[in-house]
Amino acid sequence: MKVLVTGAGGQLGGALQRCAPDFADLNAIDVDDVDLTDAAMLRARLAVEAPDLILNAAAYTAVDRAEEEEDVARAINSDAVGIMAEAMEETGGKLVHVSTDFVFDGAGARAYRPGDEPAPLSAYGRTKAEGEAHCRASDLLVRTAWVYEAGGANFVRTMLRLMKERGEVAVVADQIGSPTWATGLARTIWALVEREANGIFHHSDAGVASWYDFAVAIAEEGLALGLLDRLPTIRPITTADYPTPARRPAFSLLDCRATREAIGDAPVHWRENLRHMLREETRLG
């Protein structure tokens, strides 16, 4: 099977390549290979690649900057997805598109289910929800949240850097979700592909955390692995204490039960996967 991975240089794109099964004749492209804001260039590249399957891990993810660059975010997060879906419609192929918890408003009191109606709060969330709408019934849409990977640009590595530099960090404690190790997400996506799944699925690691809880765990696990030489003071703050251009959902827990049932595996707690990632970080130096 000819598989094209977009967003090859990102956290998930890299993980999808490392976890690729033997049946995948893989090619991976990134921004240096094709500009997703250039519709003609993207169509031409897809015609050359002629994949049976597209794994779209590319996205405009600068959440705050998207408030000022919504047109650019839309070109990547929505228009490009539509072009990929059209290309697969023409050839009989399939699109696997990755979306986000930011399509929800965070006003719910239970974990968001795959069938729940999107209600985004931000330009980033709006453009991702618009991208979802381009997916056909035969495609596979996977929503995730709070993604991190060793060597990537993410909350875990930012916290480790700040904890080394400062004796104290302040972290938002009133936004709730579940962290997601990109390697685990990649494995789930490939498992769904192998089972020829279509429709909407959710994947995040098991358990519940605030960003503050996540930071505390990063400090404790980082100290245990020698990534930190002391425990910093971690001060909980509210969203109001740390205003940002884009509104974030206060509650973005995803209901992943249907995904686990579909691929027949057990959920892994986010703290266990954090340890896996931090061990990789130690190997990377």
What is residue 119's predicted lDDT score, i.e. its pLDDT? Answer: 97
Segment 76-82 mean pLDDT? 97
pLDDT 10s digits, 218-241: 999 999 999 999 999 999 999 999
Q: Where are the beta strands (DSSP E) in 114-261?
A: 140-144, 147-148, 168-172, 176-177, 180-181, 199-202, 209-210, 233-237
Q: Average model confidence (pLDDT) for the chain?
A: 96
Other CB atoms within 10 Å distance of the CB of residue 163: 24
Segment 127-136 mean pLDDT? 98
Identify whether 60 is a catalytic site residue. Answer: no
Q: Pairing mode, if any, of strands 25-29 and 168-172?
A: unpaired
What is residue 271's predicted lDDT score, i.e. its pLDDT? Answer: 97
What is residue 67's predicted lDDT score, i.e. its pLDDT? Answer: 97
Segment 192-220 mean pLDDT? 97
Segment 7-29 mean pLDDT? 95
Task: Give yes or no for residue 201 having a pLDDT over 80.
Answer: yes
Task: Give yes or no for residue 93 having a pLDDT over 80.
Answer: yes
Segment 252-264 mean pLDDT? 96
Percent of all residues in the chain with a pLDDT value above 70, rounded to a whole number:
100
pLDDT band (50, 70, 90) for residue 41: very high
Segment 191-213 mean pLDDT? 97
Task: Give yes or no for residue 285 having a pLDDT over 80.
Answer: no
Segment 65-90 mean pLDDT? 97
The domains of the chain, with CATH numbers, are 2-212+238-284 (3.40.50.720)
Residue reference for tokens 């809880």: 213
Segment 173-191 mean pLDDT? 97
Q: Which of 124, 148, 212, 242 is catalytic?
A: 124
What is residue 167's predicted lDDT score, i.e. its pLDDT? Answer: 83
* Beta partners for residue 147, in sequence order: 180
What is residue 131's predicted lDDT score, i.e. its pLDDT? Answer: 98
Question: How much is the pTM?
Answer: 0.94
Angle of the 11-18 helix axis to the 182-194 helix axis, nearest 10:
50
Other CB atoms within 10 Å distance of the CB of residue 195: 12
Task: Give yes or no for residue 171 having a pLDDT over 80.
Answer: yes
Segment 19-45 mean pLDDT? 94
Residue reference for tokens 């061990």: 279
Buried/exposed 85-120: b ≥16 CB within 10 Å, e otherwise: bebbeeeebbbbbbbbbbbbbbebeebbebebebeb
Task: Give yes or no for residue 122 having a pLDDT over 80.
Answer: yes
Q: Which two tokens stand for residue 138?
A: 């035969």
DSSP 143: E
Percent of all residues in the chain with a pLDDT value above 90, rounded to a whole number:
96
